[in-house]
Amino acid sequence: MGVRIENLRLKYGDKLALDDINLEVNDGEFLVILGSSGSGKTTLLRCVSGLIEPTEGSVYIDDVDVTGYYPSDRNVAMVFQNFALYPHMTVYDNISLNLKLKKLPRNEIQKRVEEVARTLHIDGYLKKYPKQLSGGEQQRVGLARAMVRDPSVYLMDEPLSNLDAKLRHEMLGELRNFHDRVGKTTIYVCHDQDEAMALADRIVIINGGRIVQVGDPTELYDHPRDSFVASFIGNPPMNLLDCTVSKERGVTGLYFQGKKITAVPDLPEETERVTLGIRPESLIPDAKGPIEAEFDYTILSGSNNEINSLAGGKPLKAVVRRSMSNVSEINRYQHGDLMHFSIGKGMLYIFNAETGKIIKEMSTDEIESAERPDNTVQRF
Ligand code: ADP
Ligand code: MG
């Protein structure tokens, strides 16, 4: 059953927490709402669950306007960010409470609890009490309590935030498998883009109470609509360089700290300043490169080296395969050393410096032809 949110606004007193939210969640879809802390994710989920009533707008579940309905009449199962387990009940009783209230047969309850407990690796704890469990284990019990139900829609608010990295990774897989098995519409809120990329059919990026972009994970990664999305999706995130635009001998160039760093095809907007987006994977340490930076530190992650530097006072990150020949040279850099980068192959994104909106995206192959306008003539 799908969920539709129409023209939703929510005010806490004078403060507008959500503005002009329009969103359609398809039946059976795993939708992730991604945004930083304070962006309005929990508020939005609570509006869908019925725990808060929107100031304006409507919420539909399976085409029924449920805006004025009590949470209990919406048939949604919610995992709260700050959930509480009943301390005097065992894990088994905590998980099965809702099913008992619904008067399901005992063996049916047992079957469901055991299945969900196995999925979440808490089947060994069913007879224990919450205070005997770690924070992460308690969180999985909270998740199990929602998953064991058979609602129209699952609503999950950062359900994996207390888990250590390895367990979280495992749970991402289990959650996605569970979703594929039961096929229920799920709205899942988190602030971690890796989590969103791993789980989502589609991601909704929210910032300051407004939806910025909706799309499937690769769409958001490949075609960010603005510099906010660009800096949010991707790990490490896209570099954003403040550049000036200048035309010389018929070729438009982008200049960073006074040096030309790339030619670009003609821009559709007349502008003197732009923000250039370059993925860390497209930056190459290169002594002759035009981008000047101060080395800060490197982080080794598996087969890659992440080089962290500062360019124009802002972080500049490059991801380099460890197998590359110049890595030993990189290892000699010390904090504060001057180093240079050039732009390798990949996509480049040009954003409006004021609004952050995308002006043009292009591959570096396209740029090569812009740099040599004569070549295009020779082709004919
Ligand atoms: P998120 O879950 O994305 O971190 P929230 O939905 O919790 O964000 O909060 C969105 C904004 O609304 C924040 O600025 C927060 O401070 C504010 N807010 C949240 N709950 C309340 C409340 N009960 N009263 C007043 N302001 C609130
Ligand atoms: Mg929240």
Give me the sign of the Cα torsion angle 82, 87, 91, 97.
negative
**Which residues have beta carbons under 5 A from ligand 2 (an ion)?**
42, 81
Angle among Cα 164, 166, 170 to the nearest 5 degrees reads 115
CA distances from 34 to 7, 41, 168, 228 (A): 19, 7, 17, 12
pLDDT at 373 over 70: no
Are residue 76 and residue 223 in the same domain, yes or no?
yes
Q: Please tell me the distance between residue 144's alpha carbon and the centre of ligand 1 in angstroms.
A: 26
**232 three-class SS:** helix
> How many domains does the chain fold into?
2
Nearest atom (ligand 1) to Cα of 13: 25
Are residue 134 and residue 235 in the same domain, yes or no?
no
Q: Please name the residue whose Cα sits nearest to atom 24 of ligand 1.
A: 12
Look at residue 222 and tell me if it is in a domain: yes
Select from 230, 257, 287 the last residue of a domain.
Answer: 230
Q: What is the DSSP string of 17-74?
A: EEEEEEEEE-TT-EEEEE--TTSSHHHHHHHHHTSS--SEEEEEETTEE-TT--GGGT
Are residue 254 and residue 223 in the same domain, yes or no?
no
What CATH number corresponds to the domain at position 96?
Answer: 3.40.50.300
Are residue 282 and residue 177 in the same domain, yes or no?
no
How far is it, in rounded angstroms, from Cα 236 to Cα 306?
Answer: 8
Ligand nearest to the CA of 43: 1
Is residue 352 within 8 A of residue 272, CB to CB? The reply is no
For 264-298, how does the pLDDT look when each residue is reduced to its tens digit (9 = 90+)? 988 888 889 999 999 999 999 999 999 999 999 99
Residue at 145: amino acid letter? R
For 183-233, how does the pLDDT look when each residue is reduced to its tens digit (9 = 90+)? 999 999 999 999 999 999 999 999 999 999 999 999 999 999 999 999 999
The confidence score (pLDDT) of residue 174 equals 86
The confidence score (pLDDT) of residue 83 equals 78
The confidence score (pLDDT) of residue 376 equals 44
Does residue 205 have its Cβ closer than 6 Å to ligand 1?
A: no
The confidence score (pLDDT) of residue 379 equals 39
Range of the domain at 342: 231-371
Are residue 212 and residue 74 in the same domain, yes or no?
yes
Is residue 288 within 8 A of residue 323, CB to CB? The reply is no
Look at residue 378 and tell me if it is in a domain: no
Look at residue 202 and tell me if it is in a domain: yes
Confidence of residue 322 (pLDDT cuts 50, 70, 90): confident
Regarding predicted confidence, which is higher, 26 or 372? Answer: 26
Are residue 201 and residue 282 in the same domain, yes or no?
no
Which range (216-220, 240-244, 327-331, 346-350) has the least confidence? 327-331
For 145-166, how does the pLDDT look when each residue is reduced to its tens digit (9 = 90+)? 999 998 999 999 999 888 888 8
Are residue 313 and residue 193 in the same domain, yes or no?
no
- The torsion of the CA quartet 200, 201, 206, 212, rounded to 10 degrees, works out to 140
Look at residue 175 and tell me if it is in a domain: yes
Average pLDDT, the chain: 92
The confidence score (pLDDT) of residue 330 equals 76
Q: Please name the residue whose Cα sits nearest to atom 1 of ligand 1.
A: 38
Look at residue 209 and tell me if it is in a domain: yes
Is residue 132 within 8 A of residue 85, CB to CB? The reply is no
**307 three-class SS:** strand
Select from 230, 259, 294 the last residue of a domain.
Answer: 230
Look at residue 273 and tell me if it is in a domain: yes
Are residue 225 and residue 279 in the same domain, yes or no?
no
Are residue 174 and residue 43 in the same domain, yes or no?
yes
Look at residue 379 and tell me if it is in a domain: no
Does residue 39 have its Cβ closer than 6 Å to ligand 1?
A: yes
Look at residue 348 and tell me if it is in a domain: yes
- The torsion of the CA quartet 72, 76, 79, 83, rounded to 10 degrees, works out to 0
Ligand 1: residue of 10, 42, 207, 232 to mutate (most ligand atoms within 8 A of CB) is 42
Are residue 222 and residue 252 in the same domain, yes or no?
no
Are residue 253 and residue 226 in the same domain, yes or no?
no
Are residue 214 and residue 252 in the same domain, yes or no?
no
Select from 230, 247, 266 the last residue of a domain.
Answer: 230
For 91-147, how does the pLDDT look when each residue is reduced to its tens digit (9 = 90+)? 999 999 989 998 999 999 999 999 999 988 999 999 999 999 988 889 899 999 999
Mean pLDDT along residues 354-369: 90
